[in-house]
Structure 1
Amino acid sequence: MDSRSDDTAGARTLEVPGARLHYEVRGDGPLLVLVGAPMDAAAFAPLADLLAADHTVLTTDPRGINRSGLDDPAQDSTPELRADDLARLVEALGRGPAAVLGSSGGAVSALALAQHHPGAVHTVVAHEPPLIELLEDREELRRGTEETVSAYLGGDVTGAWRMFFANAGIALPEPVIEEMFGGERDPRQVADERRWFAHEMRASSYWQPDLAALRSAARIVVGVGEDSAGQLCDRTSLALAEALGAERTVFPGDHTGFVEDPGAFAARLRSVVSAR
């Protein structure tokens, strides 16, 4: 079922196995998909609005996040499941194959899409995928991930975020962490955050790409923020690019540069996508 609303962004719902995907469509032209995990469609809205001037832009809430409900809330969110969802969305629009910008866990989703559904995508821009299995210190990073998840699920929210940022190589002052994650918070944000810690973080971080399949499936561009030097996702991005023999392209900002400066990010993304 594909139902539409009168939302100016073209909000729709697609029924897929085990879930109902909220997605939004803007503009007209070649299909460009913007996807995160766990980031939802709203995070990409300013970027999507800009890119809609010359593209059909698809954004979505990943399964189990915000408006994309699950039949089984205890189901883990794997890159393969999210890739299947993306393939079904591209098929529903009938405008594939698509260019896909995936950020963070969404970059892992986009790589899994190219690996398992190569006909759905012609270009993947994998922006800072947290693929720790590609790094030599993967065992230490896995331990840090497990400790972080355990702390969060044990009720130490700010402590878990403190560990997360330390593991990611992102320096945030303690008052900032307390302000962001302590005290009263939006219930929807908390629910999505808990799902990420409980059912998504491990599957995304521990995913091991089939490098041979990716080399033959699509054009892969590995993106990294110009302000992310030395951070974990800078390291994983470099490792992925070297393993694939792929382009490593610098984007404005850091891990969430598309949020901080969507105009500059859109200009860079256009140049990357049009270069194929």
Structure 2
Amino acid sequence: MTTLELPDGRLYYEVRGAGPHLVISGSPMTAAAFAPLADALAADFTVITHDPRGISNSALNDPEAPSGPELRARDLVALLDELDVDTFDMFGSSGGAVTGLALVAEYPGRVRTLIAHEPPLLELLPDAAEWRVTTENIITTFHEHGAGAAWGAFMVAAGFVQDDDAPPPPPSDHQPTEQENADSARFFDHDLRATTRYLPQVAKLTNTSTRIVIGLGEESGHLNTHQTSVAMAELLAEPTVGFPGDHAGFLGQPVEFAAAIRSVLVADPAVN
């Protein structure tokens, strides 16, 4: 567990295990959220996890500095350079999947296999203009009513809450920490818009040595990331690959999820 000093801040990361290098990346999810999955993979891979820029332990010199997939990709390349890792595999989840697509496009040859699990690329959808409005409304909700209300609006929009008329869940005794509030502010003010509006560079992605697999949760049919994942796979002219659970299946089923990642990474590229 250590940090890398960057020109505009620092990047917190963890390394565990032995074997080929595998980067696990999320946004806004942190290294801590991926720890059980990383532990389940560490017998076969040198697993690198991290806190994305501006989140948790990866503080920026200017808290209002920009973020986005390209900057997150740049940070990861700086980290891999520091660790003297030339090529690596990558599992990116949600915003981390978008980071992975940006990294493959901007740094050709660095990634052997990218598993982009449910990238929320809302610009690929036929109703992208409506999704832009929805995203702006979520951000406005954050500024006017706080993080709790904004996360609620986000969960409804993404499809995690399917019945708008259902009674709200009972109030939680959990009071967000100062860091959790800061991470929420970072997400709504700097990451949400930049991630969902990212347009993948399809020409570069289809003319690369990197094998790109679009992962899709077997229980994600009700989520907007099901639609975006299918749309991205169609642009690559490749089928999606099923993974246990839904958008965050690795949280509840880390061992099974690790097995699915392992099966992708050991598969013969000529067959897939």
Above 0.5 in TM-score?
Answer: yes
Q: Secondary structure at the match of 1:241?
A: helix
Conserved? CA contact 1:169–1:232, under 8 Å: yes
Aligned pair in 2 of structure 1 residues 177, 148: CA closer, same or farther (>3 Å)?
farther
Q: Deviations over 1:76-121 (max 9, x none)?
A: 2111100001111122222331110000101110111101012321
**Unpaired stretches in structure 2, ≥5 consecutive residues:** none
87-96 or 46-55: bigger deviation: 87-96
How much does 1:17 deviate?
A: 2.2
Q: Which residue of 2 aligns with 1:124?
A: 114
Normalising to structure 2: TM-score of the pair?
0.93
Q: Deviations over 1:238-258 (max 9, x none)?
A: 000001112410100111111
| Residues in 2 aligned to 1:23 and 1:177: alpha-carbon distance in whole angstroms | 35
Indicate yes or no: 2:147 matched with 1:154: no
How much does 1:71 deviate?
A: 1.0
Q: 1:263 aligns with which of 255, 258, 264?
A: 255
Q: Secondary structure at the match of 1:175?
A: coil
Q: Secondary structure at the match of 2:52?
A: coil
Pick the structure with more helix per residue: 1
How much does 1:142 deviate?
A: 0.6
Q: Deviations over 1:37-93 (max 9, x none)?
A: 000100010111111101100000001110011011101211110000111112222
Conserved? CA contact 1:162–1:177, under 8 Å: no
| Residues in 2 aligned to 1:40 and 1:12: alpha-carbon distance in whole angstroms | 14
Superposed counterparts of 1:173-212, under 5 Å: 174-176=167-169, 178-179=171-172, 184-212=175-203
Conserved? CA contact 2:147–2:185, under 8 Å: no
Conserved? CA contact 1:158–1:177, under 8 Å: no
Aligned pair in 2 of structure 1 residues 42, 114: CA closer, same or farther (>3 Å)?
same
Look up the equivalent residue of 1:205 and give its one-letter code: T
How much does 1:199 deviate?
A: 0.8
| Residues in 2 aligned to 1:72 and 1:117: alpha-carbon distance in whole angstroms | 26
How much does 1:187 deviate?
A: 1.9
Indicate yes or no: 2:68 matched with 1:86: no
Q: Which residue of 2 aligns with 1:114?
A: 104
| Residues in 1 aligned to 2:24 and 2:193: alpha-carbon distance in whole angstroms | 22
Name the count of aligned residue pairs: 264
| Residues in 2 aligned to 1:150 and 1:266: alpha-carbon distance in whole angstroms | 37
Q: Secondary structure at the match of 1:118?
A: coil
Conserved? CA contact 1:35–1:107, under 8 Å: yes
Q: Secondary structure at the match of 1:119?
A: coil
Aligned pair in 2 of structure 1 residues 193, 135: CA closer, same or farther (>3 Å)?
same
Q: Secondary structure at the match of 1:14?
A: strand
Superposed counterparts of 1:1-276, under 5 Å: 11-171=1-161, 174-176=167-169, 178-179=171-172, 184-217=175-208, 218-275=210-267, 276=269
| Residues in 2 aligned to 1:94 and 1:27: alpha-carbon distance in whole angstroms | 16
| Residues in 1 aligned to 2:139 and 2:167: alpha-carbon distance in whole angstroms | 19
Aligned pair in 2 of structure 1 residues 197, 178: CA closer, same or farther (>3 Å)?
farther
Look up the equivalent residue of 2:177 and give its one-letter code: D
Look up the equivalent residue of 1:203 and give its one-letter code: A
| Residues in 2 aligned to 1:177 and 1:146: alpha-carbon distance in whole angstroms | 27
Q: Deviations over 1:160-195 (max 9, x none)?
A: 22321221112265533853xx87222211210111
How much does 1:157 deviate?
A: 3.3
Query: Please, what is the CA RMSD of the aligned residues?
Result: 1.5
**Unpaired stretches in structure 1, ≥5 consecutive residues:** 1-10
Conserved? CA contact 1:158–1:178, under 8 Å: no
4+ residue runs over 4 A deviation: none
| Residues in 1 aligned to 2:102 and 2:170: alpha-carbon distance in whole angstroms | 32
Q: Secondary structure at the match of 1:149?
A: helix
73-82 or 184-193: bigger deviation: 184-193
